Amino acid sequence: MSAPEPGTRGAIVGIDLGTTNSLVAVYDEQGPRVLEADGVSILPSVVRYEQSPSSPGGVRTVVGVDAKDRAVEFPSRTLSSVKRLMGRSLSDARSDLDFLGYEVVEGTHGQARARVVFEDGSSREVTPQEVSGVILRTLKGLAESALGHEVGRAVVTVPAYFDDAQRQATRDAGRLAGLDVVRIVNEPTAAALAYGIGARAGADSTETIAVYDLGGGTFDVSILRLTPGGGEGETSFFQVLSTAGDTRLGGDDLDHLLVSMFAREIRALMAGGEADSSRLETGSTRNELDAFPASTRRALKMFAESVKCRLSEDESASVRIEINEGLVYERTVTRDEFEDLAAPPIERTLAACARAVRDARDQLGGAGVDAVILVGGSTRIPLVRRRVGEFFGVEPYTALDPDRVVALGAAVQGGILSGAASGSLLLDVIPLSLGVETSGGAVAKLIVRNSSAPARATEMFSTGVDGQTSIKLNIVQGEREMVEDCRSLGEFELSGIPPMPAGIPQLEVEFLVDTNGVLRVSAHERRSGKRASLQVVPNHGLTGAEVDRIEAESFAHAREDMTRHRVVDLIANSSLDLKWIGERFERYGDRLEEAQRQDLRARIAELGEMVERARADWRSVDPNEFHASKEALDLASVRLQEISISESLRGDGA
Ligand code: AMP
């Protein structure tokens, strides 16, 4: 381990110290990234205490996955969710105590403390600061392993509603971990910074941002105002206008709703009755579950969570549980069914959003929010995204991983404070072209490099194969003509298109880069009305030097790339022509004069051979000859097309 480079004092890392999970991130020349060491990047905020005569103080701690996974074995000495106790008195924290598996007692000045009880009956009291300090020390070690040098300074995030005592407790935890906490940042502010909001020089107007954070056990929403700093180099600042939320609402509630449904149906099955699929009220979970041993309850919760997560991707998810010999519970849950179940808790979050908007009303002066950011694992649920978008009237930002966005933003703040963020790629111009893969691996560029943001472009596409019911869109960045020489930013699929002949679907693809550099790609098939979209932040992970290299390479390969792109397009278009003309030739060929027929046959054969050759090796054809051959076929087929059109007008349906 080396000391930080002389003169730099090293990076300032960003830490998301969460109720359930914690992460550490850094900002370097590639932008912000979450750090990983030994396969760990998301550290469960769980600490187990073990007696260890050889360790200082006679105890040692185990932090993270192992502590979390074995919490049920050692409930009295495994501490989780200590964030709920930070800087709070025992009486303030009382409402939270039922949900903690360990004992909480009153310490000095009435402060809440955890009591760890060992198997031999001995115990030890620890402050929430100490426990958080243990988590922070683990994150410090993780960052040092990942970076290869010491880390001494950090930006740590806290919920916007934390009071001074809670913020001070967080600073103290950092000190105990050997970290200088240079700044405490509100979690919603960090989320906004991760999207580049407020970090760019030259933002010229005030913006209002809503941050909707739905995790496993808590929900909060904040309305922020960004006031730009004016001139270049001036820092913009965020102000929290209002917050609202529910510290007892999250993804776990959705798991419980599914668990009670499963439990009730299993009981009906065991009783020999038909499984009744009508829904349960939220409150009845406990009763439904009383009939099952703890291990079954845990298994049901695991099944429920996995069904819930799969339904964020798929339209349905199945479970199969062997209850006992010969008795198997099998259940397929559809997304619609889950959405009916999940709607009431999700509507409760929107009621909190309405409160937050109301509380900020005076400062908002009737204006709406300009951007909505989603934070927390539960915001992957499509219904959450849809309803939040509808509520605020703005499509929410989803480009960044909702579990990482706060840590990434803390790292951006660290980067700004240490000077690493200057000269970054958070620019007003789009440094590299953005496009979509077309048939044959060519790239259609929709937004060209050096366009200024915001930018919008649309283009129409269609299918290349008959009866295609889904279209995959690969979004790429770069200056070269072929996908294999560009950087793929992400893929999504537009499915559910009714089968139609090739070339008939009308696919409108729109690219929109907003002022924060977030790219939103949406695809809309006009005949069926089907839509799908994707968001990405194209500039993450790119340095200025890489942009320069990509540009230089595009010049070096320009001629070859253009030729290849042309050949690939000719293959696609000629194939469609051959198919269309071939079909009509079969049908109406006998109505042509013999000379025309022979000419057309020769042209079809010639172009067909050209396509085959180009498919085998694009270099083996001369694109000008190829183009001429296609034109010749088009010309030779004019009479055939006339016949076909007049037949179709007569209702032949050709
Ligand atoms: P967090 O507290 O932010 O880590 O969020 C954890 C919650 O997000 C848990 O309730 C998870 O079950 C939930 N979650 C994570 N991934 C998904 C997903 N793909 N779909 C639905 N919920 C998810």
Confidence at 561, pLDDT banded by 50, 70, 90: confident
Residues 139 and 185 in one domain: yes
Find the residues whose C-beta lies inside 6 A of ligand 1: 20-21, 215-216, 250-252, 305, 308-309, 312, 376-378, 380-381, 403
Residues 506 and 641 in one domain: no
Residues 285 and 331 in one domain: yes
CATH number at residue 493: 2.60.34.10
Q: What is the pLDDT of residues 151-209, one digit of tens each?
A: 999 999 999 999 999 999 999 999 999 999 999 999 999 999 999 887 765 556 789 99
Atom nearest to 312 CA in ligand 1? 20
Residues 241 and 112 in one domain: yes
pTM to 2 decimals? 0.84
Taking residues 211-230, what's their average pLDDT? 91
Q: Cα(62) to centroid of ligand 1, in Å?
A: 24
Assigned domain for 550 exists: no
Assigned domain for 395 exists: yes
Tokens of 177: 């971990």
Q: Cα(34) to centroid of ligand 1, in Å?
A: 18
CATH number at residue 153: 3.30.420.40
Query: For residue 400, is pLDDT > 90?
Result: yes
Residues 398 and 497 in one domain: no
Q: 469 vs 499, 583, 636, CA distance in Å?
A: 5, 22, 33
- Closest protein CA for atom 9 of ligand 1: 216
Q: What is the pLDDT of residues 421-476, one digit of tens each?
A: 764 545 567 878 999 999 888 999 999 888 888 899 999 999 888 899 999 999 99
Catalytic residue among 130, 144, 207, 213: 213
Residues 103 and 222 in one domain: yes
> Which pLDDT score, from 0 to 100, does residue 519 have?
93
Return mean pLDDT, the chain. Answer: 89
CATH number at residue 304: 3.90.640.10
Residue that terminates a domain, selected from 342, 372, 400: 342
The amino acid at residue 475 is I
**pLDDT: which is higher, 537 or 349:** 349
> Which pLDDT score, from 0 to 100, does residue 285 have?
47
Residues 394 and 459 in one domain: no
> Which pLDDT score, from 0 to 100, does residue 276 have?
47
Residues 210 and 224 in one domain: yes
For 211, left (φ over 0), alpha (ψ -120 to 50), or beta?
A: beta
Q: Cα(405) to centroid of ligand 1, in Å?
A: 14
Query: For residue 368, is pLDDT > 70?
Result: yes
> Which pLDDT score, from 0 to 100, does residue 234 have?
62
Tokens of 226: 């960004």
Catalytic residue among 16, 220, 255, 514: 16
**pLDDT: which is higher, 568 or 436:** 436
213 is known as an active-site residue: yes
Residues 289 and 304 in one domain: yes
Taking residues 596-606, what's their average pLDDT? 92
Query: For residue 233, is pLDDT > 70?
Result: no
Q: What is the pLDDT of residues 243-255, one digit of tens each?
A: 999 988 999 999 9
Tokens of 530: 């089907």
Residues 103 and 118 in one domain: yes
Catalytic residue among 130, 172, 187, 255: 187
Residues 226 and 243 in one domain: yes
Residue that terminates a domain, selected from 286, 316, 342: 342
CA 571 from centre of chain: 36
Taking residues 372-392, what's their average pLDDT? 97
Q: Cα(337) to centroid of ligand 1, in Å?
A: 19
Q: Which domain holds residue 614?
A: 558-649
Query: For residue 4, is pLDDT > 80?
Result: no
187 is known as an active-site residue: yes
Residues 206 and 71 in one domain: yes
- Closest protein CA for atom 22 of ligand 1: 378
Query: For residue 57, is pLDDT > 90?
Result: no
Confidence at 7, pLDDT banded by 50, 70, 90: very low
Q: What is the pLDDT of residues 303-346, one digit of tens each?
A: 999 999 999 999 999 999 887 777 889 999 999 999 999 999 99
User: Which of 349, 378, 384 for a ligand 1 pocket mutation test, highest count of atoms within 8 Å of Cβ?
Assistant: 378
Tokens of 369: 């929010």
Per DSSP, the residues of 556-592 read HTHHHHHHHHHHHHHHHHHHHHHHHHHHHHHHHGGGS
Q: What is the pLDDT of residues 36-54, one digit of tens each?
A: 999 999 999 999 999 999 9
Atom nearest to 251 CA in ligand 1? 10
Q: Cα(650) to centroid of ligand 1, in Å?
A: 59
Assigned domain for 553 exists: no
The amino acid at residue 111 is Q
Residue that terminates a domain, selected from 319, 342, 365: 342
> Which of 84, 64, 68, 86 lies closest to 134, judged by CA?
64
16 is known as an active-site residue: yes
